[in-house]
A and B are shown apart, each in its own frame.
Chain A
Amino acid sequence: MTKLKTQSLHKRNSDLAKANRQLEILSNGIFRDGELPTFAQKIKESGQFPLRPNKLEVLQINVGYMCNQVCDHCHVDAGPDRKEIMTWETMELCLDVIRNTGAHTLDLTGGAPEMNPNFRRFVDEASKAGIKDFIVRSNLTIIRANKKYYDLPQFFKDHNVHVVSSMPHWTRGKTDKQRGDGVFDASIEALKMLNDVGYGMPGSDLRLDLVYNPSGAFLPGDQASMEKDFKKALLDDFGIQFHNLFAITNLPISRFLDYLIASENYEDYMYQLVDAYNPEAVANVMCTNTISVSWDGYLYDCDFNQMLELKVASKVQHIKDYNEAVLNDRNIIISQHCFGCTAGAGSSCQGSVA
């Protein structure tokens, strides 16, 4: 049985639940007084301003902020108390786009996307659209949360879904610290269930990738080395297999920003991000190949901008008016949180980019 850590910032009426308050923090202090350069200044130095999209490759749809977990560093501020859920009407608008998009990857995220009451119907319809790579971001514990979810591994298999799951560490202590008591054991059980139907096995077409993000105010290590360590530990200790590990940097927004400020790590963390700025990562940053759709159908440069309520700078701002050519002719909206995606080897929902 997993135990919730806390409530969402929204439920707690925290000041940091407000997007404009987060943006204010990210623009003030060390960035206002010039101690650190802003993201715009940095990409100007490397001749990459304004940031513009390349070819659209990934359509990422957030089907709702409800989740069975309340993880420390969730950039969505997701939790059981969040009520923002995509309706079937909006899903139908998304399906029209999915059937006609030039993107090769469809990426469903949340919250726990499986908690949307129309999740299975949506996956069923979307899987008929012939998208090359159909990702569902599953937090793993949802598979063990309730009997009604026990058949999810088979459901994913039946729809040839590519499962991408969060796993902060191969040890119980570090995982439960970040995600709640019991999360590690439930995740291990869920991974075994996925392995049992063929997910993550060597040579299997049923893709199972894990996402690692640090449990505190530090950057992720080298993705390939971490993958090696994760693979060895999960196989030796539990007989679990998976394909790839995506190492993702925590961006300083929402609950992670709240944590950084409360633990007096904010300035040091921003220094780390700025010091590790890598212009090569800017060239491949995910907002250049992704459109993010929110539960209510609005369009964003990425899931992080969605949480900061920064809609795309385009006359097309909603899925009902979707037009890929018009959308691609836009400037990407940036702020200091973007340093999270350009640090070191870079970071995206698909892991390192440089």
Chain B
Amino acid sequence: MSYYDPKDLRKFGDITQWSEELGTKFFDYYGKVFEEGALTAREKSLIALAVSHTEQCPYCIDAYTKDSLQRGVTKEEMMEAIHVGAAIRSGATLVHGVMMMNKVNKLDG
């Protein structure tokens, strides 16, 4: 038994039932964000895929893997996008090492 059921993704739209105004505003906004703009829909899909992984959201990973495939994105492009996300996440951890170094230098320099 898992907390996550892939079928629940199909029910995402149901969140509007308990707060129609906010739910509708969210989905309008969401739809607008992913429209072709200064970035292509394909580029947005790859960004979404990378962020899905940094957010570690199983629903988003399912959705944007499929969305990327639909847009002709190759598995090599998908993996590179995820590495971008992973690099930022690990970089964000490591850059705090400077704080640690500062503190060590202050306390024990």
Q: Which residues of A contact B (CB under 8 A)?
A: 169-171, 173-174, 212, 214-216, 218-222, 225-226, 229-230, 271, 275
The closest CB in chain B to the CB of A224 belongs to B36
CB interface residues, B 10-26, toward A, < 8 Å? 10
- The list of the 4 closest CB pairs from A to B, nearest first, reads A221-B71, A221-B70, A218-B69, A218-B66
Chain A CB within 10 Å, residue with most, of B42, B66, B69:
B69
Q: Are B10 and A271 in contact (CB under 8 A)?
A: yes
Is B31 an interface position by the 8 A CB rule?
Answer: no
The closest CB in chain A to the CB of B65 belongs to A218
Q: Are A220 and B70 in contact (CB under 8 A)?
A: yes
CB distance from A241 to the nearest CB of B (A): 18
Q: Return the CB mask of B70-87 against A: 1 if under 8 Å, else 0.
A: 111011000000000000
- A212 — which chain B residues lie within 8 A by C-beta? 72
Bound together, the chains give a CA A220 to CA B75 distance in angstroms of 16
- B71 — which chain A residues lie within 8 A by C-beta? 221-222, 225-226
Q: Are A174 and B74 in contact (CB under 8 A)?
A: yes
Is B41 an interface position by the 8 A CB rule?
Answer: yes
Q: Are A225 and B70 in contact (CB under 8 A)?
A: no
Q: Are A229 and B74 in contact (CB under 8 A)?
A: no
Bound together, the chains give a CA A219 to CA B41 distance in angstroms of 15
Bound together, the chains give a CA A288 to CA B42 distance in angstroms of 33
Bound together, the chains give a CA A81 to CA B4 distance in angstroms of 45
Knowing A229-B42, A271-B10 touch, does A221 contact B72 (C-beta < 8 A)?
A: yes
Q: Are B42 and A214 in contact (CB under 8 A)?
A: no
- B72 — which chain A residues lie within 8 A by C-beta? 169-170, 212, 221, 226, 229-230
CB distance from A269 to the nearest CB of B (A): 11
Q: Are A222 and B41 in contact (CB under 8 A)?
A: yes
The closest CB in chain A to the CB of B42 belongs to A225
CB distance from A225 to the nearest CB of B (A): 7
Bound together, the chains give a CA A217 to CA B10 distance in angstroms of 16
Bound together, the chains give a CA A215 to CA B75 distance in angstroms of 12
CB distance from A178 to the nearest CB of B (A): 12
- B40 — which chain A residues lie within 8 A by C-beta? 225
Bound together, the chains give a CA A169 to CA B74 distance in angstroms of 9
The closest CB in chain B to the CB of A226 belongs to B72
- A173 — which chain B residues lie within 8 A by C-beta? 74-75
Q: What is the interface size of chain B, counting residues whose CB is below 8 A from a CB of the partner?
A: 12
Q: Are B70 and A214 in contact (CB under 8 A)?
A: yes
CB distance from A216 to the nearest CB of B (A): 7
Bound together, the chains give a CA A215 to CA B73 distance in angstroms of 12
CB distance from B3 to the nearest CB of A (A): 20
- B70 — which chain A residues lie within 8 A by C-beta? 214, 218-221
A-B contact pairs, 16 of them (CB 8 A): A171-B74, A173-B74, A173-B75, A212-B72, A214-B69, A218-B70, A219-B70, A220-B70, A221-B70, A221-B72, A222-B71, A225-B40, A225-B42, A225-B71, A229-B42, A229-B72
CB distance from A176 to the nearest CB of B (A): 13
Bound together, the chains give a CA A218 to CA B75 distance in angstroms of 14
Bound together, the chains give a CA A93 to CA B41 distance in angstroms of 49
Bound together, the chains give a CA A212 to CA B74 distance in angstroms of 15
- B42 — which chain A residues lie within 8 A by C-beta? 221, 225, 229
CB distance from A117 to the nearest CB of B (A): 37
CB distance from B34 to the nearest CB of A (A): 12
- A170 — which chain B residues lie within 8 A by C-beta? 72
CB distance from B31 to the nearest CB of A (A): 15
With A225-B41, A226-B71 given, can you name 9 additional A-B contacts, CB distance below 8 Å? Answer: A169-B72, A173-B74, A215-B69, A216-B69, A218-B66, A219-B70, A225-B36, A225-B40, A226-B72
- A219 — which chain B residues lie within 8 A by C-beta? 70
The closest CB in chain B to the CB of A171 belongs to B74
Bound together, the chains give a CA A230 to CA B42 distance in angstroms of 13
